Structure 1
Amino acid sequence: MKKKLLSLLIISGLFANSGGPQQGGYAHNAPNMNNCIQCHSGSVNSGNGSVTFTNLPQSYTPGEIYSIGVEVSGEHERGYGFQAIAQSGNNIAGEISLNSNSSNAEMNGNY
């Protein structure tokens, strides 16, 4: 059994997609959804990439609009990414949009 599992993991690594998800693809740790390791190989959060958030509010008020900055950086940025969803349990709990200052950003899904 261990040999079969190891073989499956090695083969899965060969099909990892470092170029990003397929069009309309998604990956996050929300209940019943995919996460990063289903498309990417390697150790989670290894390497020199980083994600920095700015303008985070001290508290959350339902119905308010928040402008939060996200910067992804590292030596080989193409392989790094960031994903967010506004969700409470299995229900959509808000809306995320890109502003006019967004660069190298892409919006996928109905969130």
Structure 2
Amino acid sequence: MYIFLFRPWEVKPNYDPNPGPYYGVKGLERVSNWKVALALALLGITGAIMGFVSVNHSFTFNRQKLDAKSAEAGSYHAAIRADAEKYGNEEQLRRMLHRMLSDER
């Protein structure tokens, strides 16, 4: 024989229709569903805007870093080219051989 130990349809004599704070925290009352939905929608929109701004800023920031690195490489290349034109091929080959031999030691 099956005995029901829990009967949710029964009205209990000690039932309190106003049990106190909904969340178990004093001072916090129950929040309606539309307020929760509105808060979540605002949180989602805020997150989407922040994500878009951070990705956009990331591309701009990386482009600025690449432009600075490119300018640095361009000036280094111009200096090396001017040095090569000033001293000629023979001097450049001598310097390269000197560096190669000094690196081997």
- Name the TM-score, length of structure 1 as normaliser: 0.17
Choose between structure 1 and 2 for higher RCO, CA contacts under 8 A separated by at least 6 residues: 1
**Which of the two has higher C-alpha Rg?**
2
The structure where helix makes up a greater share of residues is 2
- Name the TM-score, length of structure 2 as normaliser: 0.17
